[in-house]
Amino acid sequence: MVGAGRSTINKTYDGFVKYKLTRQSTGKVNMPVTISWFSSITCNTLRWADETRNNFFSSRLNYVHQLIVGRKFSEGFSAQLSPTLVHKNLVPTEDDANDILACGVGLRQKITRRTSVNFEYIYVLPGQIVSTNYNNSLSVGFDIETGGHVFQLHFTNSRGMTENYFITETQGDWFNGDISFGFNISRVFTLSSPGKKG
């Protein structure tokens, strides 16, 4: 999978690739989990805060690498772990880490054949982000399938849509009512029909 996008926060452009390494299966090959690799790059296009200093284009870039390990335990329940590395070329102070390690946990429970509730929590290892106040990202969402499209409703303490923002720059607090609402519509296009050869 290959994708690109633009977010209003910091006028950020992003691109990503995602590759499935293994697929959960039984039979001749017994594979208990599905494993995918995800990598992305983002570019902040805001004007420089201080245009008099020597600014570098590379300072606008951030990178994310993530290993996604998921398992479908039943027809209705799935779970995944996603150990993650976020690399920031430019950090606020020399005490902040350029490489930030985190791990996400995701759960999905189907409510009906076409609806599900989703949960995601991302834990950032302590001591890496010291110059700003941040919270771990917590999101609850609902998926509604309508055949060709999936409507996704998100409630989260994160404002950013890309991984480098919601993993390392979430400042909202659920207990203080800092809950944002997001809405996605997704559609998958395939280039060939599964199961057909030739």
CA 36-159-174 angle, to 5 degrees, is 100
Q: Which H or E run includes 167?
A: helix 163-168
Domain boundaries, the chain: 2-47+59-187
pLDDT at 198: 47
Q: Which fold has domain 2-47+59-187?
A: Porin (2.40.160)
Task: Compute the distance between CA of residue 58 and CA of residue 53 in angstroms, rounded to an integer.
Answer: 15
pLDDT at 156: 95
- Please write the tens of the pLDDT for every residue from 29-78: 889 999 999 999 999 999 988 888 888 999 999 999 999 999 999 999 99
**Of 165, 93, 75, which is closest to residue 129 (Cα–Cα)?**
93
Single pTM value for the model: 0.85
Comparison of pLDDT for 147 and 122, the residue scoring more: 122
Asked whether the predicted pLDDT for residue 187 surpasses 50, the reply is: yes
Mean pLDDT of all residues in 87-112: 94
Which residue carries 């995918």 as its tokens? 36
CA atoms within 13 A on the CB side of 96: 17
